[in-house]
Amino acid sequence: MEIWINPACSKCRSALTLLDAEGADYTVRRYLEDVPSEDEIRAVLGRLGLEPWDITRTGETVAKELGLKEWARDAASRDRWIAALAAHPKLIQRPIITADDGTAVVARTAEAVRDALSR
């Protein structure tokens, strides 16, 4: 499994602590440094079963600068959202764990991390 993290994020650190406590085998991706491509974001969205606006941190300064809250949330706008996430990875919700069964979870709670571990 892989976990996308921002080391400055307390939820990410908590997820890592729980993964370590459970003896999980995982790879860390610091997604602000190793920025996911648009195709990687599409793949993770597919694994999550979510749309790009569902994993966008709309409270970030760059989101306000881009006016994301005003963007349409429909199929025609999907690529625009994905491009924004790739161009501004700070907008991506974290942590995201890609599970061994091909699914993924936004692991902001201990329950979500345990869910990823059980897959």
> What are the residue numbers of the active site?
9
Query: Quick one: which of 19, 39, 25, 16 has its CA closest to 86?
Result: 39
The type of residue at 50 is L
Residue 58: CB atoms within 10 A of its CB come to 13
Measured distance CA(45)–CA(81) in Å, rounded:
12
